[in-house]
């Protein structure tokens, strides 16, 4: 029996204090070109690997494609008006390389650049800071045909494209992210093949990862040359990786997955070297002969900021002896037999475990690598939403944001120079291999009518931005 004199424990836990963020904290929301724009064949745009992939049978749930998506290309004005209503201080979007440079080489396509000029001007007119990501997974198909990211030349092509965008938009855009989540481009795109271009070769995935980072370094240099005042960074997706038990075998499994998921990128980008244990783990996959002298210096070209995308934590265990690894192509080359363990904690509609303290841990970890300002460039959750009487009361998503913002604030309290937070996503959109079946938006999109309906989380986020923090609960 509980003691009637003390309140039930759950109420105590639910009493959360109000929190104020530092002055000037950059409150934003994020999207990506292929996920929202549509207008796939308009004004000179040509196919990217995601057009090809989504049009290939069996690749995306229900055969969904980004052909129309949220039709943002034609609704830019209305969409920016919605952002202004939310009070966003910044909007993180990506540029479609295939729109700006349809073959991946040569001169810019003026029609494509015009769209981004209009978008940036509209944002600025509404007092919203544009935050431009150069590459959110949509390589022009001709560059994939020429070898894709496993081919070294793609890195040089990325730098050329960067110069085109910097020349056109650099007078108006202050914040730049080169790559979004190179782990996904490399290991889902070329390892497990669940993302475009759908290739499945571990050595190619490792080469792709290297060339993505090389392209990043070259792009940083191209941006600095074209726009010395630009604030330049990269966005990585990071996960705390815990062993399922304290056994040496489980701890070793965690070390391996942490190497592939996190240190594969953090160490070259921020320290200029690959971790030795990672290179050893990958020795059955690749001899790293693709790494040339000077690459790591290019990759670690100094940055102005680091973007962190955070969604969940991985818990892993050693392989069980006698049990074969899943024969499906893996995104963990050399460590295919490591087991991913679920802990039975609440999950989102993606099946991703909800773990807000993991955000604090992740931000503190990156701060251990660098003193640079950090930004959460994505954080959010998919849940099944229903529209009732024109309202979407997405309490689960709202609670997810609330918990993660508290975790972000804890990192600030611990001294992490966290300068901003971007909710993923502004609106429901094409969730890659899941098509339109997973909703991450603060704004609901009816894909038949293209009607936008701000959900409860959007209204709540607007109040967070207004008070620069969270109300007590
Ligand atoms: C991230 C991607 C983003 C979106 C979210 C849910 O990995 O960067 O485009 O798909 O996950």
Which residue out of 37, 122, 144, 378 is catalytically annotated? 378
CA of 344 relative to ligand 1 center, distance in Å: 23
Atom index in ligand 1 nearest the CA of residue 440 equals: 6
User: What's residue 15's pLDDT?
Assistant: 74
Residues β-bridged to residue 80: none
Which residue out of 181, 336, 353, 431 is catalytically annotated? 181
Task: Assess whether 353 carries a catalytic annotation.
Answer: no
Is the separation of the CB atoms in 112 and 44 below 8 Å? Answer: yes
Look at ligand 1, atom 5, and give the residue with the nearest C-alpha.
424
Atom index in ligand 1 nearest the CA of residue 235 equals: 8
Q: Strand, coil or helix: what is 28?
A: strand
Q: Identify which of 313, 380, 311 has the alpha carbon closest to the alpha carbon of residue 343.
A: 313
Q: What pTM was computed for the model?
A: 0.96
Q: Using a 6 Å cutoff on CB, does residue 133 contact ligand 1?
A: no
Place of tokens 């997706």: 237
Give the Cα separation of 175 and 118 in Å (integer). 17
Task: Assess whether 181 carries a catalytic annotation.
Answer: yes
Give the Cα separation of 47 and 45 in Å (integer). 7
Is the separation of the CB atoms in 325 and 319 below 8 Å? Answer: yes
User: What's residue 14's pLDDT?
Assistant: 59
Structure tokens at 174: 């202050």
Q: Using a 6 Å cutoff on CB, does residue 131 contact ligand 1?
A: no
Is the separation of the CB atoms in 439 and 387 below 8 Å? Answer: no
Q: Using a 6 Å cutoff on CB, does residue 144 contact ligand 1?
A: no
Q: Using a 6 Å cutoff on CB, does residue 181 contact ligand 1?
A: yes
* Per-residue pLDDT in tens (0 to 9) along the chain, 473 residues: 333 344 444 444 557 889 999 999 999 999 999 999 999 999 999 999 999 999 999 999 999 999 999 999 999 999 999 999 999 999 999 999 999 999 999 999 999 999 999 999 999 999 999 999 999 999 999 999 999 999 999 999 999 999 999 999 999 999 999 999 999 999 999 999 999 999 999 999 999 999 999 999 999 999 999 999 999 999 999 999 999 999 999 999 999 999 999 999 999 999 999 999 999 999 999 999 999 999 999 999 999 999 999 999 999 999 998 888 888 999 999 999 999 999 999 999 999 999 999 999 999 999 999 999 999 999 999 999 999 999 999 999 999 999 999 999 999 999 999 999 999 999 999 999 999 999 999 999 999 999 999 999 999 999 999 999 999 88
State CA 439 to chain mean position distance.
Answer: 15
Give the Cα separation of 139 and 18 in Å (integer). 43
């Amino acid at each position: 029996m509980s003691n009637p004199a003390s309140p039930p424990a759950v109420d105590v836990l639910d009493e959360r204090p109000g929190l104020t963020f530092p002055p000037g904290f950059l409150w934003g929301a994020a999207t990506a070109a292929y996920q929202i724009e549509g207008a796939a064949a308009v004004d000179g745009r040509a196919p990217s690997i995601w057009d090809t992939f989504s049009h290939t049978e069996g690749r995306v749930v229900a055969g969904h494609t980004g052909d129309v998506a949220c039709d943002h290309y034609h609704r830019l004005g209305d969409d920016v008006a919605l952002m202004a209503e939310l009070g966003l201080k910044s909007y993180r979007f990506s540029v479609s390389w295939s729109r700006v440079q349809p073959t991946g080489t040569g001169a810019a396509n003026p029609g494509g650049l015009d769209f981004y000029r209009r978008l940036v001007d509209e944002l600025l007119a509404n007092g919203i800071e544009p935050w431009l990501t150069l590459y959110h997974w949509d390589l022009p198909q001709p560059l994939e045909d020429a070898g894709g990211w496993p081919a070294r030349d793609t890195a040089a092509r990325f730098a050329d494209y960067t110069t085109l965008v910097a020349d056109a938009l650099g007078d108006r855009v202050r914040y730049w992210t080169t790559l979004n989540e190179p782990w996904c481009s490399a290991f889902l795109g070329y390892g497990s093949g669940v993302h475009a271009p759908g290739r499945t070769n571990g050595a190619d995935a490792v080469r792709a990862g290297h060339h993505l980072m090389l392209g990043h370094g070259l792009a940083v240099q191209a941006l600095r040359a074209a726009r010395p005042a630009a604030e330049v960074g990269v966005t990585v997706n990071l996960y705390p990786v815990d062993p399922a038990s304290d056994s040496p075998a489980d701890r070793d499994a965690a070390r391996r997955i942490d190497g592939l998921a996190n240190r594969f990128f953090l160490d070259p980008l921020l320290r200029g070297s690959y971790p030795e244990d990672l290179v050893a783990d990958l020795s059955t996959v690749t001899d790293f002969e693709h790494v040339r002298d000077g690459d790591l210096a290019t990759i670690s070209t100094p940055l102005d900021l680091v973007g962190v995308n955070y969604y969940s934590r991985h818990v892993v265990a050693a392989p069980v002896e006698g049990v074969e690894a899943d024969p499906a192509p893996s995104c963990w080359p050399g460590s295919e037999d490591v087991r991913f363990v679920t802990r039975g904690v609440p999950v989102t509609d993606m099946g991703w475990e909800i773990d807000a303290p993991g955000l604090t841990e992740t931000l503190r970890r990156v701060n251990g690598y660098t003193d640079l300002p950090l930004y959460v460039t994505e954080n959010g959750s998919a849940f099944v939403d229903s529209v009732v009487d024109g309202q979407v009361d997405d309490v689960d998503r709202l609670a997810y944001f609330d918990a993660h913002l508290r975790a972000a604030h804890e990192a600030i309290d611990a001294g992490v120079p966290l300068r901003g937070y971007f909710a993923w996503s502004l609106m429901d959109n094409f969730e890659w291999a899941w098509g339109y079946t997973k909703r991450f938006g603060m704004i609901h999109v009816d894909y038949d009518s293209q009607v936008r309906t701000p959900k409860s989380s959007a209204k709540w986020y607007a109040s967070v931005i207004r008070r620069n923090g969270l109300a007590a609960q």
